[in-house]
Amino acid sequence: MRRYSPYAASYSFGPGPLPPALKALIVLNVIAFIATSLAPSLLQWFGLFPAAVLGQFEIWQVGTYMFLHGGVFHILFNMLALWMFGTELERLWGTREFLKFYFTCGIGAAVLTILFSLLPFDFARQVHQSIVIGASGAIYGLLLAYAMTYPERPILLVIFFVPAKVCVAILGAIALLSSVSEPGGVANATHLGGLLVAYLYLTTRHTHPVAELKYRYLKWKINRVRRKFDVYSGGRHDDYDRRIH
């Protein structure tokens, strides 16, 4: 990814230096990775284990799982994505709003993963008895936010550059299909959860939740009354003149 400066002839690779929140997140992830490499049993305590969260009420796991990774490539690619997509968003939103969004996506993805694990299907029951680790849920949320902010920005997907909005659509479809079809699709449910939480956050963050619910309910009642009395904004459906009434 290239970061273009105000001067047309100059550019640099990547989004630039790390802002404060990203720097802290990367440092914490690296420290946690070293700690779990030295003491793998920590994964049992701090990874997301839906059965333990619901059965033993180990609620802290919905937040701690996103700092754990299963190998060098796992943490390397997650931290690279965090830097590439998070840097511009933190500069745009500010550190406080960025951290709020990041943890909302990560924790929200964990909660949706737990709910997903309760579905009466074999692929969901497997999630219930598995340990989920990694920052991917929060990072998928960042990817969606990046695509909604810079929809036409090119992203390298495998070997082709595609617009950010297309890249997110492809990754979301892969996560959805994998979560219900692959036996090992545990993390894919979390990826999809991160996307869903990010979308809800970004589309409602400027709206008061209670006021939004009241508006939706009132709109539903009005539409129900219209259907009951066969009233439409353009007149009755069988009116030739389509008068408003």
DSSP string covering 55-72:
HS--TTHHHHGGG--SSH
pTM (predicted TM-score): 0.75
SS3 155: strand
Domain extents for the chain? Answer: 2-204, 209-245
Q: Which two tokens stand for residue 214?
A: 């009241």
In the residue annotation, 237 being an active-site residue is answered as: no
Of 196, 195, 212, residue with least CA distance to 204: 212
| C-beta of residue 194 within 8 angstroms of C-beta of residue 141 | yes
Select which of 69, 117, 178, 191 is catalytic: 191
Q: How confident is the model at residue 80 (pLDDT cuts 50, 70, 90)?
A: confident
Q: Among 175-179, 201-205, 220-224, whose mean pLDDT is lowest?
A: 175-179
Mean pLDDT (whole number) for 221-244:
59
Q: Which of 89-103, 169-183, 185-199, 216-230 has the highest mean pLDDT?
A: 89-103
CB atoms inside a 10 Å sphere around CB 228: 8
CB atoms inside a 10 Å sphere around CB 42: 15
pLDDT tens digits, residue range 109-131?
999 999 988 988 887 788 888 89
Gyration radius from the chain CA atoms: 22
In the residue annotation, 191 being an active-site residue is answered as: yes
Select which of 136, 181, 206, 237 is catalytic: 136
Fill in the amino acid letter for 241: D
CATH domain 2-204 topology: Rhomboid-like fold (1.20.1540)
